[in-house]
Amino acid sequence: MQKVFISSFLAMFSLLSCAQNNNKKDNKIMSEVKIPEGVKTEIADFGSGCFWCTEAIFQRLEGVYSVRSGYGGGHVENPTYEQVCDKTTGHAEIIRITYDPAKISFDELLEVFWKTHDPTTPNQQGADVGPQYRSVIFYHSQEQKEKAEKYKIELNASGAWDKPIVTAIEPFKKYYPAELYHQNYYNDNQNQGYCRYVIQPKLEKFEKVFKAKLKKQ
């Protein structure tokens, strides 16, 4: 199921690249859900290719209050998008997910993470090539680490993929928010080429597979 889900849309965006569509719109305002008083939230940091795609996916999950695109895992402080695209900072494009563990668990977030990208391609997702597009989980606790490692072992053993999973599981160090024009990107730029031909088909497939986990309209 997983292999079919991933492979069916990878070919659709093989000629389109996230980095080729850098339309700066600094007047964009992020869309976030207000966290109710008394709700205890947790954070998950994932990298699985272009953050425009991954942001749009996780924003639609029930129990997720905010998804912010950013950079992590590198050695340059306060990197810019241009620096990260130069492939010299060591940073990956990541998303920071703020969620209510009473409504959606870290295990469920991991399931979405693993099933919405190809975790077997080093430094590449479709036409997006470079270390900034690597598959990575930055864990915030021993529990997150153990769950991510367990899921990775089980997924490798399942034979869902012909090649071994290369997703890195690393301790969280520092998160740097991406520029404002990257935030809420798909929702604000749905007529843009990358959004129409890459993100939208991916979202449609995601919404069919994870229909029960989506926010109610």
Residues taking part in catalysis: 50
**Within 13 A of 97's CA, how many CA atoms are on the CB side?**
31
